[in-house]
Amino acid sequence: MIHIMYQYFFSKTCLQFKAFFFFSAFVLFNSVFNTVQAQIKEAGQVELRETSNAIHQWPESIPESVGMSSSRLANLDSIFVQHIEQEKIPGMVALIARNGFVVYEKAFGSADPETNRPYQTDHIFRIASQTKAITATAVMILWEKGLFNLDDPISNYIPEFKDVTILEEFNNSDSSYTTIPAKNQITIRHLLNHTSGIGYGIIDGDERIRKIYQKAEVIDLYTTEDISIEQSVKRLAKLPLHHEPGERFTYSEGLDVLGYLVEIISGHSFSEFLEEHLFEPLGMSNTQFYLSENQNKLLVPVQTKNQKGEWIVYDGHPDGYYNANYPKIGAKKFYSGGAGLTSTAQDYAKFLQMYLNGGVFNKHRILSPTTVDLIMSNQTNDLFGEGNTYYGLAFGVVTNKGFTIGGRGSVGTFDWGGYFNTQYYADPELNIIGILMKQTQRIPWENTGNIMRQIVGASIIQK
């Protein structure tokens, strides 16, 4: 039968059937191709490279294959080298990805002023506040299971927050203070979008709050002490707020509170939850709170400058609030949801690519695309960013007004950074990721992060 049909359709007298046959074959192939492409996107098959054991120069054809210019991206080299030669920074690792492919991954400068070893692309960094977006993601994973509402009072789960107060008067001589009762409860949403009124201890902008937190021995950032996030959060719950919950944007330790909430809801340590639900599925094998002995050699020291202007190793806050070696020494029990993780450029790129993919990467769906939309929505109205950006549930997000400034990315670009001078951004419209890993403290402000975004945007040759 098939043989007869073949002879009929391909006979010289049936040209119209030939045309019909090839047209039908094309339509069928196109349909199958589109279906496979959709399945690949869902499965997250287009991935970033899994390993980065050395500086690797990608072929010049790769940037062009995803609509970027190799020669324009090379402007990053000269900018980074210039800043190092001017001793504004000792060095860094930079990574740019588009459409799930790494197009630029390089290391520059000295990672250690004592040994002068160079930076490598697989080096591990203290990512500090870049932890916050990961913690927020963990919260939303549990929210998707229907285990709580975003507007639930946190006191439903941590009763110590039931009767919160607001700072009224403060005595500088002994750090005593008076308070007034808050009218509203702190909600989970307030903690996610930094409107809870909770402060940030040693890095808080209000000296009164800094002294109150210090006296109460709240862990603000990192510690080598034998203390859990539960213990620190319960101390924090007794302290006064800056303002009424929901009234203003105040950068805070709210994500540390949420790390403890994850422990309560899940029944696992925060570290275990992140490993099972984020790091292992996404292939983030070098992201963790504390390092194994084998990883210690990959952790780069934090650098600062001495009075002579020379780069030296920074051991920790001069007032003794933390030891900069916290990822590899001490009790290793404090899982800070606001600042505690260490990671690599490649690992963090995988996390960001998951968001650009609508919640899926490495064949694992982490979040629904509808949840990603919620996380990226304006959760602070006009309380943050002076109209140039707003804050969602995990990131700062560029607005139309912010786009017109130039060099920040498309509308909807999301970003943040860390205490030790790390920066990242991801542009959903252009499907671009930019990560700049540095490790410095107590140096004059430098703008390599902003310049990188500007150059990367100008390297687009096909939208």
pLDDT tens, position by position, 174-231: 999 999 999 999 999 999 999 999 999 999 999 999 999 999 999 988 999 999 999 9
The pLDDT score that the predictor gives to residue 250 is: 98
Overall average pLDDT of the 133-154 stretch: 98
Residue 47's pLDDT band (boundaries 50, 70, 90)?
A: very low
pLDDT at residue 29, rounded to an integer: 43
**pLDDT: which is higher, 33 or 124:** 124
Q: What is the dihedral sign for C-alpha 222, 227, 230, 235?
A: negative
Q: Does 36 have pLDDT greater than 70?
A: no
Half-sphere exposure of 256 (CA within 13 A, CB side): 30
pLDDT band with cut points at 50, 70 and 90 for residue 319: confident
Distance CA 182, CA 241 (A): 8
- Give percent above pLDDT 70 in the chain: 87
pLDDT at 317: 85
Sequence spans of domains, the chain: 59-463
Find, among 404, 374, 376, 401, the residue nearest to 391 by Cα.
376
pLDDT category of residue 10 using cuts at 50, 70 and 90: very low
pLDDT digits (tens, 9 = 90+) for 238-264: 999 999 999 999 999 999 999 999 999
Give Cβ neighbours of residue 377 (< 8 Å, ≥ 6 apart): 392, 393
Confidence of residue 66 (pLDDT cuts 50, 70, 90): very high
200 vs 210: CA distance, rounded Å: 7
What is the average pLDDT across 331-356? 97
Q: Kindly tell me the burial class for residue 23, based on how many C-beta atoms sit within 10 Å of its own C-beta (0-12, 13-18, 19 or more).
A: exposed
**Nearest-angstrom CA–CA distance, 36 and 350:** 22
Which residues 6+ apart lie within 8 Å of 361 measured at CB?
Answer: 44, 47, 282, 350, 353, 354
Q: How far is CA 60 from CA 47, 69, 74, 241, 356, in A?
A: 19, 9, 10, 54, 24
Higher-confidence position of 3 and 283: 283
**Average pLDDT taken over every residue of the chain:** 89
Q: Which of 447, 430, 391 has its CA nearest to residue 414?
A: 391
Overall average pLDDT of the 376-397 stretch: 97
Q: Is 49 exposed, middle or buried (0-12, 13-18, 19+ CB in 10 A)?
A: middle
DSSP code at position 171: E
Per-residue pLDDT, averaged over 50-68, amounts to 55
For domain 59-463, is the CATH number 3.90.280.10?
Answer: no
Token pair in block for residue 149: 């509402």
CA distance 364 to 404: 36
Residue 462 binned pLDDT confidence (cut-offs 50, 70, 90):
very high
* Percentage of the chain exceeding pLDDT 90: 84
Element (H, E) at 454: helix 448-458
Residue 254, C-beta contacts closer than 8 angstroms, at least 6 positions apart? 190, 191, 192, 194, 196, 198, 338
Q: Is pLDDT of 21 > 90?
A: no
Q: How far is the C-alpha of 158 from the C-alpha of 135, rounded, in Å?
A: 17
Q: What is the pTM of this model?
A: 0.87
The helix or strand, by DSSP H or E, that contains position 85, with its residue range, turns out to be helix 75-85
Cα gap 452→77, rounded to integer Å: 10
Q: Are 107 and 123 in contact (CB under 8 A)?
A: yes
Q: Quickly state the pLDDT bin for 410 (edges 50, 70, 90).
A: very high
Distance CA(49)–CA(349), nearest Å, equals 10
Q: Say yes or no to pLDDT of 35 above 90.
A: no
pLDDT at 459: 98
